[in-house]
């Protein structure tokens, strides 16, 4: 007796979407079903290593696709692991896969975008309902006697019942909707299957109907040999692109790749791709990362994180090792000599591919950097062994670059000003804030280039990068930036003393007003246009980093900044002449608050700022 069961709510939602909004690119259902069949044979191959009896005498893995035109049925059959009753209920009635749940969250309502998302997430089995108004699944788990039949029209419920099934594995029968006749056509099917399965290491066989003399039969559509196992010279670019598409679900071709067969002490093949565009989950904590791992052509796992460090998480590809045991698990990978070596070699490989790109193809490298620059910077902190190579790849905006142009540290050093000993940088929220920063004024006046760092990771990166080419990296917002040597004027010292004496009283008064808000107040050497700016002590955390940490929800005490004032600014002349305490107080706060705003920070008490500003502006009126 068949039992009727309800789909989980999320499944209903997903099915509704599949049925009512996927008008384009419907063929993806076939890719999903073939990919499931291939996973199922991979799983069996793996389990059969421990328990050969599961094979029931049949070790010739394959997927077969057959059309029954009169019945409007398309059948996809595999001799993989199959499913038990419990597995059918879990896998084909609920959404167990966290990726699918994310898919639902990411839906935009825009049919075209959503159908592309299907590709990225691989929404899998349920995509059958894009083209079918009834789906029947007959399956028997390898090693079990009883088979299961699952039937649904994709509208809220399904039935499940025991069934006799002679062969292990899964057979999916799609009853096609009206208007989906193209998927009954042999040539059309052949084309789609070829497109999606060319690089599966599993033969996909399509049934050829009898025709006159021809009795019909099954033809293998794909090559069925892993691309990475073939000699490089035999593989066409389009084939590399196709495999990349399968691995990444990225519709665009990769930027570049590196295919290698390593022989000697360690034997493995590696195929590493650099994507052209970032995946949607690049900044997700649990984003996909790592490579697909095979051992002697047997698929072992997806996303083996241990094979690449987190700062190379955008790389997609395959490692096929001859030295690992077939029963290797994620735990074992954590500390395995072979894995450590493959990992180290893969990192070097990726960095050298990128290095070549930087040298030989500026345009492609710029595309790479736009997409993954901030990610690669994490490597400066994460991977001291390869730091020099990573640093060579870094590119920066500066006070002299325009638009999207960036330069390397090497370029910076080569064009340093006469007498300049250090590398100067400024960290800020964005390029506009950075370029307008008062801290840059003195540097601009002396024509000294300053790196403008606006990626979140930059604060951490510069901490891990104290010097380059023997030159110290110095923040222009720190107290110890010594412009003294760069000022050619020999009378500067005397002038400095005179100005300080002139402003001694003002400085004491400002300090009295601001009290605990500042560490100290002093005459600035950096300002030429702005009235004031905030700097931090030499060894203190930068204010931008404090801001980032607060945004990330960390409670940090916060250092008191040093307020620097510009003696040449009319506001200072006015303060020197102001005797009225109330007005002086307003001006002092304003001096501080302007400096906070100019660095792109937020005021603690914006309302008071506004009142103060109005008081001062309308004072004369």
Ligand X SMILES: Nc1ncnc2c1ncn2[C@@H]1O[C@H](COP(=O)(O)OP(=O)(O)OP(=O)(O)O)[C@@H](O)[C@H]1O
Positions touching ligand X (CB under 6 A) are 32, 36-37, 40, 78, 80-83, 91, 97, 99, 122, 124-126, 170
Q: Are strands 291-295 and 532-535 parallel, antiparallel or unpaired?
A: unpaired
To ligand X, the closest distance from the beta carbon of 89 in angstroms equals 11
Q: In the bound complex, what is the minimum distance in angstroms from residue 319's beta carbon to ligand X?
A: 20
Residue given tokens 């891990």 in the structure block: 464
| DSSP string computed for 275-292 | -SS--TTTT-TT---SEE
Q: Is 111 left (phi over 0), alpha (psi -120 to 50) or beta?
A: alpha
- 123 known member of a binding site: yes
- Annotated ligand binding at 125? The verdict is yes
392 is in an annotated binding site: no
Q: What is the DSSP string of 35-73?
A: HHHHHHHHHHHHHHHH-GGGGTT-----EEEEEETTTTE
Helix (H, G, I), strand (E, B) or coil at 178: coil
Residues 6+ apart with CB under 8 A from 354: 274, 365, 368, 376, 393
**Which residue lies nearer to ligand X by CB, 35 or 408?**
35
Q: Is 98 marked within a binding site?
A: yes
> Is 399 labelled a binding residue?
no
Q: What CA–CA distance (Å, rounded) separates 303 from 318?
A: 9
Is 124 or 479 the residue whose CB approaches ligand X more closely? Answer: 124
Q: Given the complex with ligand X, which of 84 and 408 has the nearer CB atom?
A: 84
Nearest approach, Cβ of residue 75 and ligand X (Å):
12
Least distance (Å) between residue 402 CB and ligand X: 44
d(CA 66, CA 217) in angstroms, rounded, equals: 10
* 386 labelled binding-site residue: no
**Per the annotation, does 36 bind a ligand?**
yes
**Does the annotation list 78 as a binding residue?**
yes
In angstroms, give the least distance from the CB of 249 to ligand X.
9
129 vs 19, 28, 33, CA distance in Å? 6, 11, 12
Nearer to ligand X by C-beta: 11 or 371?
Answer: 11
Of residues 125 and 294, the one with the C-beta less far from ligand X = 125
Phi-psi region of 57 (alpha: psi -120 to 50; beta: other; left: phi over 0): left
Q: Is the CB of 13 or the CB of 97 nearer to ligand X? A: 97
Q: Which residue's CB is nearer to ligand X, number 135 or number 391?
A: 135
CA distances from 394 to 309, 311, 380 (A): 17, 13, 10
What is the spatial distance between Cα 598 and Cα 102, in angstroms, rounded to a whole number? 39
Cβ closer to ligand X: 139 or 525? 139
Q: Which residue, 61 or 365, is less far from ligand X as judged by CB? A: 61
Look at phi and psi of residue 73 and say left if phi exceeds 0, alpha if psi is from -120 to 50, else beta. beta
Length of the chain as a residue count: 621
Q: Where are the beta strands (DSSP E) in 396-531?
A: 397-398, 423-427, 451-453, 467-468, 471-475, 520-523
Which residues contact residue 157 at a Cβ distance below 8 angstroms, ignoring those fewer than 6 apart? 4, 5, 6, 7
Supply φ then ψ for residue 261, to 5 degrees: -115, 120
DSSP, collapsed to helix, strand or coil, labels residue 5 as strand
Name the minimum Å distance from CB 458 to ligand X.
35
Nearer to ligand X, 27 or 459 (CB): 27
Check whether 614 is labelled as a binding-site residue: no
The answer to whether the annotation marks 330 as part of a ligand binding site is yes
DSSP state of 135: E
Our CA angle for 196, 288, 461, nearest 5°, is 135
Distance separating alpha carbons of residues 530 and 540, to the nearest angstrom: 24
CB of 147 to ligand X, least distance (A): 12
Shortest CB 124 distance to ligand X, Å:
2
- Quote the CA–CA distance of 243 and 435 in Å, as a whole number: 44
**Residue 105 annotated as part of some ligand binding site:** no
**What does the angle CA 291 – CA 292 – CA 293 come to, to the nearest 5 degrees?**
110
Q: Is 32 annotated as a binding residue?
A: yes
Closer residue to ligand X, CB minimum distance, 99 or 278 = 99
Burial class for 481, CB neighbours closer than 10 Å (0-12, 13-18, 19+): buried
Q: Which is nearer to ligand X, 116 or 511 (CB)?
A: 116
Minimum distance of ligand X from residue 594's CB (angstroms): 53
Nearest residue to the partner ligand X, using Cβ: 124
Shorter beta-carbon distance to ligand X: residue 118 or 518: 118
Closest approach of ligand X to the CB of residue 225, in Å: 22
Question: What is the spatial distance between Cα 241 and Cα 230, in angstroms, rounded to a whole number?
Answer: 15
Q: Go through 419-448 and write b for each residue having 16 or more CB atoms within 10 A of its CB, e for each that does not.
A: ebebbbbbbbbeeebbbebbbbbbbeeeeb
Smallest distance from the beta carbon of 88 to ligand X, in angstroms?
Answer: 8
Question: What are the C-alpha distances in Å from 233 to residues 236, 268, 270, 296, 515?
Answer: 8, 18, 15, 21, 73
The residues pairing with 299 across neighbouring beta strands, listed in sequence order, are 294
For residue 90, the minimal CB distance to ligand X (Å) is 8
Cβ at position 63, least distance to ligand X in Å? 9
Is 484 annotated for ligand binding?
no
Q: Which residues are annotated as a binding site?
A: 32, 36, 78, 83, 91, 98-99, 120-125, 170, 330
Q: Which residues are annotated as a binding site for ATP?
A: 32, 36, 78, 83, 91, 98-99, 120-125, 170, 330
């Amino acid at each position: 007796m068949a039992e009727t069961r309800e789909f989980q709510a999320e499944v209903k939602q997903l099915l509704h979407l599949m049925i009512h909004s996927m008008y384009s690119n419907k063929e993806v259902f076939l890719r999903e079903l073939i990919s499931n069949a291939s996973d199922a044979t991979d799983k069996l191959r793996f389990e059969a290593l421990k328990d050969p009896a599961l094979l029931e005498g049949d070790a010739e893995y394959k997927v077969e696709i057959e059309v029954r035109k009169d019945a409007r049925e398309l059948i996809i059959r595999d001799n993989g692991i199959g499913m038990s009753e419990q597995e059918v209920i879990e896998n084909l009635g609920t959404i167990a896969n966290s990726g699918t749940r994310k898919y639902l969250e990411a839906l935009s309502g825009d049919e075209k975008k959503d159908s592309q998302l299907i590709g990225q997430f691989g929404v899998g089995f349920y995509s059958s309902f894009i083209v079918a108004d009834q789906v029947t699944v007959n399956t028997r788990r390898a090693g079990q006697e009883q088979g299961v039949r699952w039937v649904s029209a994709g509208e809220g419920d399904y039935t499940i019942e025991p069934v006799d099934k002679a062969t292990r594995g899964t057979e999916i029968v799609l009853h096609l909707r009206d208007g989906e006749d193209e998927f009954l056509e042999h040539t059309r099917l052949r084309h789609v299957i070829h497109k999606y399965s060319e690089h599966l290491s599993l033969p996909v066989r399509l049934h050829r109907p009898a025709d006159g003399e021809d009795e019909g039969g099954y033809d293998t559509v794909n090559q069925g040999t892993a691309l990475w196992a073939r000699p490089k010279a035999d593989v066409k670019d389009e084939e590399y692109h196709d495999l990349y598409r399968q691995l990444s679900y990225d519709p665009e071709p990769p930027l570049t790749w590196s295919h290698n067969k390593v022989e000697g002490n360690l034997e493995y093949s590696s195929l590493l791709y650099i994507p052209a565009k970032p995946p949607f989950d690049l900044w997700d904590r649990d984003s996909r990362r790592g490579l697909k791992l095979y051992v002697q052509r047997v698929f072992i796992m997806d996303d083996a994180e241990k094979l690449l460090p987190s700062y190379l998480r955008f790389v997609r590809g395959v490692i096929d090792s001859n030295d690992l045991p077939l029963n290797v698990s994620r735990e074992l990978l954590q500390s395995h000599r072979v894995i450590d070596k493959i990992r180290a070699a893969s990192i070097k490989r990726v960095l050298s591919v990128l290095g070549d790109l930087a040298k030989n193809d500026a345009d492609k490298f710029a595309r790479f950097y736009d997409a993954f620059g901030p990610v690669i910077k994490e490597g400066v902190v994460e991977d001291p062994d390869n730091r020099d190579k990573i640093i060579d790849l870094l590119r920066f905006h500066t006070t002299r670059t325009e638009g999207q142009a960036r330069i390397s540290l090497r370029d910076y050093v080569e064009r340093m000003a006469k007498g300049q000993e250090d590398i100067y940088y400024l960290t800020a929220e964005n390029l506009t804030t950075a370029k307008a920063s008062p801290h840059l004024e003195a540097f601009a006046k002396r024509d000294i280039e300053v790196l403008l760092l606006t990626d979140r990771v930059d604060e951490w990166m510069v901490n891990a990068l104290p010097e380059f080419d023997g030159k110290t990296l110095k923040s222009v917002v720190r107290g110890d930036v010594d412009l003294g040597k760069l000022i050619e004027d020999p009378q500067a010292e005397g002038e400095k003393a005179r100005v300080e004496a002139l402003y001694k009283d003002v400085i004491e008064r400002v300090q009295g007003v601001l009290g605990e808000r500042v560490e100290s107040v002093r005459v600035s050497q950096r300002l030429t246009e702005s009235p004031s700016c905030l700097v931090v002590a030499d060894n203190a955390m930068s204010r931008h980093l404090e801001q980032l940490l607060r945004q990330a929800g960390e409670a940090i005490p916060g250092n008191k900044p040093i307020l620097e004032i510009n003696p040449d600014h009319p506001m200072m002349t006015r303060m020197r002449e102001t005797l009225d305490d109330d007005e002086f107080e307003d001006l002092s706060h304003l001096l501080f608050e302007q400096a906070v705003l100019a660095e792109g920070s937020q005021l603690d008490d914006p309302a008071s700022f506004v009142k103060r500003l109005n008081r001062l502006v309308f004072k004369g009126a």
